[in-house]
Amino acid sequence: MKLLWRLWISTSLSLTLVFAFAGWWLQRHAIDTGSRSVEEAVQNGFQAYEAVWRTRGELLGTVTAVLSSMPNVRAAFGTRDEATIRDSAAEIWGRLPPDLKESAFFLVASPDGEAIASLGGGPPPSAGAWSVVSNARPLFPKQVSGVLQVQGELYQTVLTPVYVDSGAGRDLLNVLVAGYPVNSLLAARLKESTGGSEFLFLRDQRVFASTLNPRATAELARVIRADPTATRVSDGVTDYALRARPLTGPGSEPAGALYILRSYTGSLGHLDVLRRDLLLLWALAVAAALAISYWIVRRVVRPVEELDRAAIEIARQNYGYRVPVESGDELGRLARTFNTMSASIQSAREELIRQERMSTIARLASSIVHDLRNPLAAIYGGAELLNDEQVTEPQRRRLAWNVLRASQRIQGMLNDLANVTRGRTAERDTVSLRDLLELAVENSRPMAEAHAVRLDLEPGEDAEVRVEQGRLERVFVNLISNAIEAMPGGGAVRIFLSAGEGETRIHFKDTGPGLAPEVRDRLFQPFVTQGKKNGLGLGLALSRQTLLDHGGDIEVSSPPGEGATFTVVLRSATPAGVPG
């Protein structure tokens, strides 16, 4: 059996039991709360009426629809011979279930409403009585249903047209009319299904069916006719809560009304006995429902629990977890699909890690290639000057120190690249921004002096940040070197910090010519450069990527005639204080 049906049957059984026993509990609660319970009982009566009414109508509609589509029925109707149609109708009647034949009737009518054959306990065939057939023709080929009064009796009817295809289109052969009588049997069934509500069918001041005794029926009919909008009535002995529901005919025309009544006296009687019995029944029902529901749900939910456990493992990035496949139904297919998905995710994740590692290596290599230019230039220039005999001993020591620091920077960059290629990640340390800026300024000072540029690191606030020190230092050096190269005729670079809420801003402001507007918007894209000789256009793009990796960013502003200002934004770890 498919999982859909297993779940449907199991859920229906559990809900039916729970709602049935909940209904008993609600009935006990209704007895305790008096009038409010009676109103609820009346509403339940409406629901029962609608369920029974709908079930009867659907049964009639289904049976007549099946009959109208049967080839032998259509063939018999196609002869247009009344005797043949009657014989076919009798044969059809013999195939119907006994319970349906006991309570329903079937009638075969011509398109004009003339009765050809009538079977069951319905009204006798009468052409005049079935004018509803011709009146319903504009609504065909849909089935038409509604309440109909025929020769003093009330019927719930369904009209089903029977068509045959012809060269000119579809021709209406006959109409199958099926119905149930609206009588005391129907009212009694409704009363039984609602646990004691009384039912009264009225049309045109006449009572067609009632579950009340004749005296109460006559008195209540008189009261209702006098005040159709009343919600509480009395038959002189018992008080009732009253609700009405209109009945409609096949053409949606008014066809009477159904009145549901609930006795206040009966609902409140035998209070002590009902409380004890219903409490015991409720306890037993709850215990049985819990046991049955647990057994059913356990069987149905076990595969779902396996999927849930697998989803938790996948959320923990355990992509090697697999779901046991125990069946061939929808959950079994879902488990196999889940396992296939997990394997795909595992493979894709491994490939993504490999590609991300290669991408990281490529980005770091590009950054190092770009950043190697400055220390290599320092080493190259220092080596040339060291060979100059006119260099003094203090200058020689300073040049040697610069060459050593440049070599150390190169070694650090190569170590970073080696660590990434081995799958290691650089550790982040909590460092002082001012110390890091002082180191970057000191490393950039030889280049600044060569270009007659003054580097000013202003005193002021400081902050601690948790970063990869080497990468962030290269960002600062790159920004300073860019500013220096943008001022070939000399100038100044002003560096200062400002603190915000949870963040620190480092500003690099130069006195150069500034940035063209068309370049400023694309400045952080690869291979975009301005004002630099032999520039690759990678420095700012790589610097911004480094800052994004640290949860920060970089901004640029360049008012006309004021140079350019690059602002690095970083999340602060803790304030480091203000130097005095």
List the beta bridge partners of residue 164.
171
Hey, what are 26's tokens?
A: 């609600």
pLDDT (tens digit, 9 = 90+) per residue, 176-223?
A: 888 888 888 888 888 887 777 888 888 877 888 888 888 988 888 888
DSSP code for 138:
G
pLDDT (tens digit, 9 = 90+) per residue, 516-542?
A: 877 777 777 765 565 555 444 556 777
Phi/psi for 123 (5° steps) reads -70, 155
DSSP code for 563:
-
Q: Are 93 and 101 in contact (CB under 8 A)?
A: yes
pLDDT over 80 at 570, yes or no:
yes
Output the pLDDT for position 234.
87
pLDDT (tens digit, 9 = 90+) per residue, 338-382?
A: 788 888 887 887 778 777 666 666 665 666 665 666 677 777 777
Q: Quote the mean pLDDT of the chain.
A: 76
123, HSE (Cβ side, Cα atoms, 13 Å): 22
∠ CA 457-462-464, rounded to 5°: 125
Mean pLDDT of 452-480: 87
Phi/psi for 315 (5° steps) reads -60, -30
List the beta bridge partners of residue 117.
108
Hey, what are 205's tokens?
A: 């001041």
Considering the chain, what percentage of its residues have pLDDT values greater than 90? 6
N residues, the chain = 580
DSSP code for 238:
-
pLDDT over 70 at 173, yes or no:
yes
> Would you place residue 448 in the very low, low, confident or very high pLDDT band (cuts 50, 70, 90)?
confident
Q: Which amino acid is at 48?
A: A
Q: Are 122 and 94 in contact (CB under 8 A)?
A: no
Q: Which amino acid is at 515?
A: L
Strands lying side by side in the sheet with 232-234 = 206-210, 198-203, 254-263, 239-248, 232-234
pLDDT (tens digit, 9 = 90+) per residue, 485-504?
A: 888 889 999 999 988 788 89
DSSP code for 564:
-
How many Å apart are CA 177 and CA 159, to the nearest integer? 5
Output the pLDDT for position 543.
80
CA-CA distances (angstroms) from residue 410 to 74, 75, 470?
96, 98, 11
Please, which residues have CB within 8 angstroms of residue 426's CB and are 6 or more apart in sequence?
416, 419, 420, 468, 470, 471
pLDDT over 90 at 566, yes or no:
yes
Query: Dihedral sign, CA of 511, 515, 517, 522?
Result: negative
Strands lying side by side in the sheet with 105-109 = 115-120, 105-109, 169-181, 153-166, 144-150
Output the pLDDT for position 422.
62
pLDDT (tens digit, 9 = 90+) per residue, 232-281?
A: 888 888 888 888 888 888 877 888 888 888 887 755 555 556 667 766 76
Query: Could you give all domains of the chain from N- to C-terminal order, each with its CATH number?
Result: 34-269 (3.30.450.20), 374-426 (no CATH), 429-580 (3.30.565.10)
How many Å apart are CA 150 and CA 137, to the nearest integer? 19
CA-CA distances (angstroms) from residue 180 to 64, 183, 480?
13, 9, 96
How many Å apart are CA 432 and CA 443, to the nearest integer? 17
User: Which residue's entry shows tokens 């038409």?
Assistant: 144
Output the pLDDT for position 250.
81
Instruction: Name the residue with higher pLDDT: 492 or 398.
Output: 492
- What string of DSSP letters covers 411-468? HHHHHHHHHHHTT--PPPEEEEHHHHHHHHHHHHHHHHHHTTEEEEE----EEEEEE-
Hey, what are 169's tokens?
A: 């289109």
User: Which residue's entry shows tokens 């047209």?
Assistant: 161
> Would you place residue 569 in the very low, low, confident or very high pLDDT band (cuts 50, 70, 90)?
very high
List the beta bridge partners of residue 159.
144, 177
Query: Dihedral sign, CA of 461, 462, 463, 465?
Result: positive
End-to-end CA distance of the chain: 83
Q: Are 239 and 232 in contact (CB under 8 A)?
A: yes
Mean pLDDT of 277-304: 66
Listed range (145-154, 213-222, 295-304, 437-446) with the worst mean pLDDT: 295-304
Output the pLDDT for position 316.
79
Q: Pick from 186, 225, 185: which is nearest to 205 by CA?
A: 225
Report residue 272 CA to chain centroid gap.
49
Please, which residues have CB within 8 angstroms of residue 29's CB and are 6 or more apart in sequence?
37
Q: Are 465 and 485 in contact (CB under 8 A)?
A: no
Hey, what are 125's tokens?
A: 């065939």
Q: Are 250 and 136 in contact (CB under 8 A)?
A: yes
> Would you place residue 578 in the very low, low, confident or very high pLDDT band (cuts 50, 70, 90)?
very low
The H or E element that residue 539 is part of is: helix 539-549
How many Å apart are CA 510 and CA 566, to the nearest integer? 9
> Would you place residue 80 in the very low, low, confident or very high pLDDT band (cuts 50, 70, 90)?
low
Listed range (56-65, 136-145, 204-213, 509-518) with the worst mean pLDDT: 56-65
pLDDT over 70 at 44, yes or no:
yes
pLDDT over 80 at 33, yes or no:
no
Q: Are 195 and 171 in contact (CB under 8 A)?
A: no
How many Å apart are CA 144 and CA 142, to the nearest integer? 6
Helix (H, G, I), strand (E, B) or coil at 472: helix
Q: Within 10 Å of residue 464's Cβ, how many Cβ atoms? A: 19
Q: Which amino acid is at 369?
A: V
